[in-house]
Structure 1
Amino acid sequence: MIVAGTNAWAELAKASSAMVTTSLQMNEMMAASGSVIGARMTIMGQAAANPAKADYAEIGGMVQEKLVALSEVHQALVAQWAAMCTETTEQAQQLGRLFVTVRPVTGRGMSDIAEAWLSHMTRMVTRSMDVGGLALAPVHQQVTANAKRLSQIRA
Structure 2
Amino acid sequence: MLDPFDAWNRLVAVQGSMARTGLRMAQTMSAANEVVIARTALASSALHSPVRGDHSELARMVPEKVAAFSSAGSAGVSAWWAAQSAWGSEIQHLSALAMRGRPLTAMELSELGERMFSYGLKSIEAAARLGAATVAPVHQKATSNARRLGRKTSQPNRNR
User: TM-score when scaled to structure 1?
Assistant: 0.85
Q: Give, as a single letter, the amino acid of the residue that structure 2 aligns with 1:110.
A: L
1:29-73 per-residue CA deviation (whole Å, 9 max, x = no partner) reads 222222212221221122112101222121111011111111111
Partner of 1:97: 96
| CA gap 1:6/1:91 in 2 versus in 1, 3 angstroms | farther
Please say if residues 73 and 138 of structure 1, whose CA atoms lie closer than 8 Å, have aligned partners that are also in contact: yes
Please say if residues 47 and 54 of structure 1, whose CA atoms lie closer than 8 Å, have aligned partners that are also in contact: yes
Which has more helix, going by share of residues? 1
Identity rate of aligned residues, in percent?
Answer: 31
Please say if residues 73 and 134 of structure 1, whose CA atoms lie closer than 8 Å, have aligned partners that are also in contact: yes
Please say if residues 35 and 147 of structure 1, whose CA atoms lie closer than 8 Å, have aligned partners that are also in contact: yes
Which segments of 5 or more consecutive residues in structure 1 lack a partner in the other structure?
none
Please say if residues 8 and 118 of structure 1, whose CA atoms lie closer than 8 Å, have aligned partners that are also in contact: no
Partner of 2:41: 42
Could you tell me how far apart the structure 1 residues matched to 2:123 and 2:17 are? 15
Q: Give, as a single letter, the amino acid of the residue that structure 1 aligns with 2:49.
A: N
Q: Tell me the SS of whatever aligns to 1:51.
A: coil
Partner of 2:158: none
Please say if residues 69 and 138 of structure 1, whose CA atoms lie closer than 8 Å, have aligned partners that are also in contact: yes
Cα offset, 1:124, TM superposition: 1.8
1:72-124 per-residue CA deviation (whole Å, 9 max, x = no partner) reads 11111111111110001111222223344578754433322211111101122
| CA gap 1:6/1:103 in 2 versus in 1, 3 angstroms | farther
Paired residues for 1:17-96 under 5 Å = 17-96=16-95
Q: Give, as a single letter, the amino acid of the residue that structure 1 aligns with 2:80.
A: W
User: TM-score when scaled to structure 2?
Assistant: 0.83
Could you tell me how far apart the structure 2 residues matched to 1:101 and 1:142 are? 53
Deviates more, 1:79-88 or 1:25-34: 25-34
Cα offset, 1:130, TM superposition: 4.0
Please say if residues 76 and 135 of structure 1, whose CA atoms lie closer than 8 Å, have aligned partners that are also in contact: yes
Could you tell me how far apart the structure 1 residues matched to 2:67 and 2:41 are? 24
Does residue 11 of structure 2 align to residue 12 of structure 1? yes
